[in-house]
Amino acid sequence: MATAQTKAVSKKAAQAALASVAKGIMDEIEADHVDTTDYKLGKTNSKGGVLMCKFTLQPREKAPNPLCITVNEEIRWVPRGVEVVVPWYVVTHMKANIETRYKKEKDPATGKNIVTPYLSPSEPFNYNPIDPAPGVEV
């Protein structure tokens, strides 16, 4: 029969083993998620610097002006209808900002009105890269 002392020793050994395994797992998770690349230099201009783009956010009725765009804790206030120069990652962020909208149309099989979803950028905009390095596209 186990005594209180042997139970305490066993419990302590089990806790140490679990802590060691948990630390090893957490170290592996952190190593997998460490991103050493500088997201700002993902696209470069012909001189090796951050690729910049001419960016125009289209005016919309009842939409905030200027629009607050946040990328990786970097905040930019972009006025509508005015061409501004922004880094490439702001354009990439806006291109990825897609929302589902809905439209009413006739069902070709039944002739009844139906609502169908479609994907659309959340904000209309135009952009043009400034002096990209060869092969770089945004």
pLDDT of residue 111: 86
Domains identified in the chain, total number? 2
Is the same domain home to 24 and 86? Answer: no
Model pLDDT for residues 110-120, shown as the tens digit of each residue: 888 999 999 98
Q: Residue 138: inside a domain, yes or no?
A: no
**Do residues 119 and 100 make contact, with C-beta atoms less than 8 angstroms apart?**
yes
Same domain, 76 and 8: no
Is 11 found in the same domain as 62?
no
- Provide, rounded to the nearest whole percent, the portion of the chain with pLDDT above 70: 91
Nearest by Cα to 117 from 135, 136, 104, 129: 104
* CB within 8 Å of 90: residues ≥ 6 apart: 53, 55, 69, 71, 76, 78
Owning domain of residue 14: 1-34
Same-domain pairing of 58 and 19: no
Query: 39-54 pLDDT, tens per residue?
Result: 566 777 778 888 889 9
- Is the domain of 18 the same as that of 44? no
